[in-house]
Amino acid sequence: MTPDAGPPAQPRPTGIRLGRVLGVPVFLRWSWLVLAAVVVILYAGVLDTMLPQLTPAGRYAFAVGFVLCLLISVLLHEVGHAVVARHYGIRVRTIMLEVLGGYTEMESDSPHPRADLAVSAVGPIVSGVLGAAALAGYLSLPRGTVVSQLLFQLAWANLVVAVFNALPGLPLDGGRAVRAVVWGLTGNRHTGTTVAGWLGRALAIGLAATALALIIARDVNIATPLLLVLLASTIWQGATIAIVQGRMLARLPRVNLRELARPVLTVPTGTPLAEVIRRVADSGLAAPAVAVVDSSGRVISLVHEESAAAVPPERRPWIPIDSVARTLEPGRTLAADMSGEDVINAVRAHPAPDYLVVSGTDVIGVLRLVDLDKVLRT
């Protein structure tokens, strides 16, 4: 699965860092270790009928090897996404391997539908090729050997992953392919995201219904319907995120920095907080932002409203405004004529509570992140 990068900045990856592949950091979720342990225990328990020649220790070693091979298969699946994404100029932030597979985190969306379709299609193709190669190896070896059994299990697992990921619903790769097709037909990427998200929800409902039918029939091991329920829950969550994201990003044309920017009141560095509060009250401006300027009149920091409000009233005459302001670092200045998507990318690259909006050398105002969020979510 390969989710898209969303508008907000992505959190720092958590988990075990395995290293880099083609320069991309690879992480492993801690939860994967739990699932791996469960699979090893369950799989080792049934190997006595498949490979009776193995000792108990050998069965566990085989199960561990199978799980590690699956992990490598998932990694290659995600590396396929990363390689094609780079081909189209999309920067890849990380590859994350987790309980039910993995995902490739990208720093931006695909530039056009064709790129989106290619990035989504390569994952199932890689898994399909791995499955076919393992199956060919299995067919060329004598039955009943350790290697042939391992190849058979890997062939089955990779082919299932290829088919499952090709299903038409986000957050699966097939859902991203649907999004690319709808995007190409309508010219609107966000419509494609919403459509593929609803298909993902329908897919989740179908998996949950299948699990319920299996439970009612009582002719399968309980692990199968439980796995289907877990998959349904994961897909439902991913599909819901896609629907919300599609609706939110469809509102990008509403992002006009000249309209969203709050009026700004400038005060010299070192001004007492109490004096600044008095000036704000006397300014007559509606919800102004406060900017601190140096002796040359250049804005050097923006006041953090929550920090200023947290100062007790009796201390405000003695607290300089600089102590509740944040230095205006690179990336926190936005051009007033930036388009909606450019604004989102700038905010994602340099997360902060507020940004100075300028037109040339003129200060237009201050964009509060909460105001931007309100426009996108309302």
Q: What is the mean pLDDT of the chain?
A: 90
**Domains of the chain: residue spans and CATH:** 16-251 (no CATH), 257-377 (3.10.580.10)
Q: Which residues of 268-294 are buried (b: 16+ CB within 10 A; e: fewer)?
A: eeebebbebbebbeeeeeeebbbbbbe
pLDDT digits (tens, 9 = 90+) for 66-81: 999 999 999 999 999 9
Mean pLDDT of 142-170: 93
Distance CA 257, CA 355 (A): 10
296-306 pLDDT per residue, tens = 999 999 999 89
SS3 assignment, position 237: helix
pLDDT band at 254 (very low <50, low <70, confident <90, very high): confident
From CA 325, how far away is CA 308, in angstroms rounded? 8
Whole-structure pTM value: 0.76
Burial of 6-31, coded b for 16+ CB within 10 Å and e otherwise, reads: bbeeeeebebeeeeeeeebbbbbbee
Hey, which bits of the chain come out as E strands?
Answer: 16-21, 24-28, 92-98, 101-106, 264-268, 289-293, 299-303, 325-327, 333-335, 354-359, 362-368
**339-351 pLDDT per residue, tens:** 888 898 888 888 8
For residues 179-187, average pLDDT: 96
Q: Lowest mean pLDDT: which of 70-79, 209-218, 266-275? A: 209-218
What are 340's two structure tokens?
A: 């909606």
pLDDT at 1: 55
* Structure token digits, residue 154: 């890997």
* Top-confidence residue, 107 or 122: 122
Three-class SS state of 333: strand
Q: What is the mean pLDDT of residues 208-221?
A: 86
